[in-house]
Amino acid sequence: MDDQLVEQLRMDVVRGAQALVEAGVLSGTQHGNWSVRIPGTDHILLTGSSLGGMKPEDLALLTLDGEVLQGGLSASSAEIIRMHTAVYLERSDVGSVVHTHSPYSSAFAVANRPLECYAEILARTGSSDPIPVAPYGPRGSDQSVANIVQAMRAAPTQNAVLLGNHGILAFGIDVAGARQMVFALEETAQLAILASAVGTPRTIPPHMVVAAEQRRVAFEAAGPVTAGGGSDRAD
Ligand SMILES: [Zn+2]
């Protein structure tokens, strides 16, 4: 295993957690846990139970069978190992998984209501179908994990599942992708709840969600625009 890469991944998760804390998108306890797949292996790094004040050494090294190879996890953190490993086993394209109790998106989870694409930030992730709800089961239990996998199979291209009566599970190809998904879910849920006070939140039509994601991808591929550099984007 590439030690330098592992250290980099530890730092990626620590910085990702800091970003969520600083953005104020966590619940008051800052509860959450985060994992990252070590590319090309069946190993992951997984954090403890708070995303606040996390240190690189807080991440334990585990196999996808749940065996701890290096470091350690508290009893409460050990409960959620399978909540993370199930996602990697189900989706080979996922490189990072984060769980939070972000209040607005968790409100949808408590209402057991799928989160539809009400806002631009979620459209940019390509989420035209609603973010599914996995019905409640005690965290990390067989029932809970089975419900998560079933929800993922019902929405195979979505990078998130709402955990009924609990919180959210967001994922992506890497730590940055998983972090962005938390931001997208939380902002969309907050806006939808606020919008319901002044009217009825409206969803973005699916073809426009596709257009929003394509536009983001095209601009990212074209790179930054600099003074005097012009742009030859077809737009
Ligand atoms: Zn939780």
Q: pLDDT digit string (tens) for 175-205? A: 999 999 999 999 999 999 999 999 999 999 9
- Rounded to 5 degrees, φ, ψ at 48 are -80, -150
The pLDDT, as a whole number, for residue 221 is 93
- Rounded to 5 degrees, φ, ψ at 61 are -100, 125
The pLDDT of residue 227 is above 60: yes
Structure letter (DSSP) for residue 169:
E
Position 77 confidence tier, pLDDT thresholds 50, 70, 90: confident
Q: Are 21 and 51 in contact (CB under 8 A)?
A: yes
0.85 exceeded by pTM: yes
| Secondary structure of residue 60 in the 3-state scheme | strand
Cα–ligand 1 centroid distance for 101 (angstroms)? 6
The pLDDT, as a whole number, for residue 230 is 57
Cα–ligand 1 centroid distance for 33 (angstroms)? 8
C-alpha radius of gyration, the chain, whole number: 18
Token pair of 213 as six digits? 């994601």
Cα–ligand 1 centroid distance for 120 (angstroms)? 27
Sequence-distant (≥ 6) Cβ neighbours of residue 170 within 8 angstroms: 97, 98, 99, 100, 159, 160, 178, 181, 182, 185
Q: What is the pLDDT of residues 3-39, one digit of tens each?
A: 999 999 999 999 999 999 999 999 999 999 999 999 9
Q: What is the pLDDT averaged over residues 41-46?
A: 96
Cα–ligand 1 centroid distance for 131 (angstroms)? 18
The pLDDT, as a whole number, for residue 235 is 53
Cα–ligand 1 centroid distance for 99 (angstroms)? 7
Q: What is the pLDDT averaged over residues 63-70?
A: 95
Cα–ligand 1 centroid distance for 182 (angstroms)? 14
The pLDDT, as a whole number, for residue 182 is 98
The span from the CA of 46 to the CA of 48, in Å, is 7
Q: Are 36 and 45 in contact (CB under 8 A)?
A: yes
Cα–ligand 1 centroid distance for 223 (angstroms)? 37
Position 106 confidence tier, pLDDT thresholds 50, 70, 90: very high
User: Cβ atoms within 10 A of the Cβ of 177, count?
Assistant: 18
Cα–ligand 1 centroid distance for 54 (angstroms)? 17
Structure letter (DSSP) for residue 167:
E
The pLDDT of residue 232 is above 80: no
With residue 144 as reference, give the H or E element that holds it. Answer: helix 142-154
Cα–ligand 1 centroid distance for 78 (angstroms)? 12
